[in-house]
Amino acid sequence: MSPPTGSEPDGNAAYGHKPFKRSRSHFADRITADGRDGWPVEAGRYRLVVSRACPWASRSLVSRRLLGLEDALSLAVADPIQDDRSWRFTLDEGGRDPVLGIAYLSEAYEAREPGYLGGVSVPAIVDVPSGKLVTNDFQQITLDFATEWTALHRPGAPDLYPERLRDEIDEVMDGIYRDVNNGVYRAGFASGQEEYEAAYHDVFRRLDLVSERLKDQRYLVGDTLTEADIRLFTTLVRFDAVYHGHFKCNRSKLTEIPVLGAYARDLFQTPGFGDTVDFDHIKQHYYRVHTGINPTGIVPLGPDLSGWRTPHHREQLGGRPFGDGTPPE
């Protein structure tokens, strides 16, 4: 997510009052096995900064857990409630991240590029020795976890981006990103009726297409979990809690879409998915930070979350969640 920084003190209040456009990742260096961008894969060198509220950051949490990178890549969790300097570490003792020693993620951005005035987004990976931001490229981070960090994967880690299926995975992810992952934001932050309606129709058109695709197969591509499932899940798990009401994507709740509801429950109950989700962080962030579309800051008590643990029966479709591998502990 790319919230406002100190250069835009009223940025959160502006949501819903100006056309929404997602910022491109400004820092797109890659951490690779050969270190070609100057950042080689090394256990213990980097720190992953996330918000459990953010769907883009949640991708990296799921991937990190499925691949068993917890010991190799430490984790910093930001407060879901931002102030005008964006993501902050007020959940930690003394209001500072215990490893990086900073109070705001923006300090790592400043260390990388002095005078930086752009958006401060998560997920972000910071180089611990220098305190500098390495990357905030949310689209590439998890792909690199799957393909460049293989030497540090746990035994039995799944192949989340198998080479033989990459073209199909990319095609599926492109439509999901445009119409679902980003589409809910275009609807929620729309500044006019036509803009909202176009995004609304994109969201549900794509959800209908995905639902049809998943009717007879357990996962989006192939018979195992892939990056495509991770990217769809992090939007679906937030759908009823925030996107249906807060973002006005209210044709149907996820619980009212049988195939997608069961698919999302299947993933939620799979180790590595539901155990990374924090619904309180999700609701606190969306309803309290987006004051432009929820000026009262009231956080709804619902929905009932008990349904996430109910049977889904998707195992009847077959599939091997982890392929030839094993689930994370």
Task: Please give the positions annotated as active site.
Answer: 54, 185
Rounded Cα distance between 178 and 245, Å, is 20
Residue 86: phi and psi, rounded to 5, are 80, -145
Cα 109 to Cα 31, 126, 204, 241, 258: the distances in Å are 17, 9, 36, 31, 43
Strand 46-50 with 74-77, pairing: parallel
CA angle 297, 301, 306 (to 5 degrees): 145
Tally DSSP H helices, then E strands, for the chain.
10, 4
| Cα gap 150→154, rounded to integer Å | 9
User: Which residues are 75's β-sheet partners?
Assistant: 48
Cross-strand partners of 47: 74, 126
| Residue of 225, 6, 27 lying closest to 123 (CA atoms) | 27
- Is residue 18 classed exposed, middle or buried when 0-12, 13-18 and 19+ CB atoms within 10 A define those classes? exposed
Read off the tokens for 88.
Answer: 């902050």
